[in-house]
Amino acid sequence: MQKMLDIGPIHRREYELPVSRAGGSSGGKAGASGRQTGKDLPSKGKSAKEGNNANTVIIAQAPGRIHFLGEQGDSGDGLYLSAAVDRWVKIAVSARKDNALRFYAADLGERKRATFTNLKYKREDRWANYIKVAIHVFGELGFSVKGLNFTLIGNIPQQIGLASSSAIEVAAAVALRGFLGAKIGEQELAQRLAASHLLFFEEKPNLVDYIVGLSARSDQFLLIDASTQAVTKIKSPFSRCKFILMDSRVPRLGVDSELAARREDLKTGLHLLSQGREGASFRDFVTMDLMDSMGNLPEEVRRRSLYVVQEMQRVLDAADYLQRADVMNFARLIFHSHESLRDLYEVSCPEIDWMVKRAQETIGVFGARMTGLGFGGCTYAIVKNEAINEYRTRIDDYERIFGFHPGIYEMKLAAGSKVVGE
């Protein structure tokens, strides 16, 4: 695993702050409208200076995440089986004497700047835009600050579907919550981050990503109902396993249009199944309803809809298997979910299917499946520690067969966001 830099001393050196007596601290596609979203932070509420002196540095971290089941379909009405993983974003924050916002990405050696009166999305600010989302949340809550310094580091692999951008937003929000002494719960913070993200980027985020980042616990799966935001924590029965992600490195061209077509098919399918009933949901239907609809729905629409209905039931069944530590039935269900992604929802590809098939052939693998939105990207496999070498041997031929050098990452389930130093 890539070792993370010690963010405390880096932040103090970057912004010329005195070293603490404790010796320092522990260590997506977006629109380009540039629409104004910020404003002067109101004077009401607690000031940053009230609870922290000018040399105080608060550090928070937030994890990456995996959606094991339920990622495709309607993100606002679905069921998810998810978990946080032991890859992190860390953000340090301190006060300034002026009204400026300063951002430093230590891994990249990049600096960005903004002001509260000009707090808006800018394409050139890239990663700093996600920190601005969190700043906007606390501005809307009425907290008054003069200026802020931020430093960012992380070791979440990029562009493989582990929600690194959401982790930046969550880490920044948790750091600011601690820095400002804000009393705001996980559910409200998740909702406010989602609303600010939509305002800045003009695209709706997946609220579940924030819920995982804020609610996860070590060695636990999360059963999440996206419509109610209810979270059920389930102890993992895989303490003697690693979660191995394999990045196919397949170029993902034309993915947005394909995914838009899937969403349109689902919209059509739900409308036809419910006969246009207001407030209808795929939760109102079972597999037999889709089987009975043959001839009444376009076949492609029926297959997409069938996938979503069956996947929601798989999430519930998987949670039940985990609670009973029934790892063999859990594994079979995960493999079946991938087959459904391949045959019904049709978002897989030969490279991804090959990876899953090799995992399925390996003794000691408790399920493998595509993760992410599809057409390339990653697979995950749950592999017993003693079977990891055999699994790696079985996937050695991938580059020779397909011509892409894969990225392979061993991970463990991890806890959610927290303040880790000051």
The predicted-structure confidence for 357-368, as pLDDT tens digits, reads as follows 999 999 999 999
What are the pLDDT digits (tens) for 91-129? 999 999 899 999 999 999 999 999 988 899 999 999 999
* pLDDT at 419 (0 to 100): 95
What are the pLDDT digits (tens) for 16-30? 998 865 444 444 333
Query: At residue 1, does pLDDT exceed 70?
Result: no
Higher-pLDDT residue of 358, 72: 358
Q: Looking at the domain covering 7-235, what would its CATH class be?
A: alpha beta
* pLDDT at 292 (0 to 100): 86
b/e string for 370-391 if b means 16 or more Cβ within 10 A?
bbbbbbbbbbbbbbbeebbeeb
What are the pLDDT digits (tens) for 12-65? 999 999 886 544 444 433 333 344 444 444 334 444 444 456 789 999 999 999
CA distances from 323 to 46, 97, 178, 320 (A): 43, 52, 34, 5
Summarize the confidence of residues 164-186 as an average pLDDT: 96
208 and 224 in contact (C-beta within 8 Å)? Answer: yes
- CA 412 to chain centroid, in Å, comes to 15
* pLDDT at 52 (0 to 100): 59
CA distances from 213 to 66, 76, 105, 417 (A): 11, 17, 20, 6
Question: What value does the mean pLDDT of the chain take?
Answer: 90
| Stated pTM of the model | 0.91
Summarize the confidence of residues 155-166 as an average pLDDT: 91
* pLDDT at 59 (0 to 100): 97
Residue 341 tokens read as 């992604």
Domain boundaries, the chain: 7-235, 249-405
- Classify domain 249-405 by CATH number: 3.30.70.890
Query: At residue 176, does pLDDT exceed 70?
Result: yes
Q: Which helix (H) or strand (E) holds 323?
A: helix 299-323
Q: What percent of the chain has pLDDT over 90?
A: 78
Question: Of 68-82, 96-110, 162-176, 364-378, which gets the smallest average pLDDT?
Answer: 68-82
Higher-pLDDT residue of 276, 166: 166
Position 255 confidence tier, pLDDT thresholds 50, 70, 90: confident
Bridging pattern class, strands 365-371 and 413-414? unpaired
